[in-house]
Amino acid sequence: MPKCPKCQKEVYFAEKKTSLGKDWHKLCLKCEKCNKILSSGQHAEHDGKPYCHQPCYSAMFGPGGCGRGGAESHVY
Ligand SMILES: [Zn+2]
Ligand SMILES: [Zn+2]
């Protein structure tokens, strides 16, 4: 049984989501930063962890870098 990279528990078929070459629980495949639930193959990745493209990945790693805050900034 594959283990979920997020919570380290076994992933059953019915709740499986495959992304980044790993099997995740549906509710565990979410952005490391903002906790938005992600769709497999439709998100960014850094260091093996899933991130949403917008705003997290582009804000942290994309061109333009960090420092763009605004109304949506709930950065820790
Ligand atoms: Zn999990
Ligand atoms: Zn995010």
Q: Quickly list DSSP for 51-69.
A: E-IIIIIHHHTSTT-S---
At residue 35, the 3 state secondary structure works out as: coil
Ligand 2 centroid to Cα of residue 51, in Å, is: 5
Which listed ligand is nearest to 55 at the C-alpha? Answer: 2
pLDDT by position in tens, the chain (length 76)? 899 999 999 999 999 999 999 999 999 999 999 999 999 989 999 999 999 999 999 999 877 555 554 445 444 4
CA separation for the pair 38, 46 (Å, rounded): 14
Residue 36 contacts residue 29 (beta carbons within 8 Å) = no
Q: What is residue 5's predicted lDDT score, i.e. its pLDDT? A: 96
Question: Which CATH architecture best describes the domain 13-60?
Answer: Ribbon (2.10)
pLDDT digits (tens, 9 = 90+) for 29-50: 999 999 999 999 899 999 999 9
Backbone angles phi, psi at 71, to 5 degrees: -65, -30
Which listed ligand is nearest to 2 at the C-alpha? Answer: 1
Which listed ligand is nearest to 28 at the C-alpha? Answer: 1
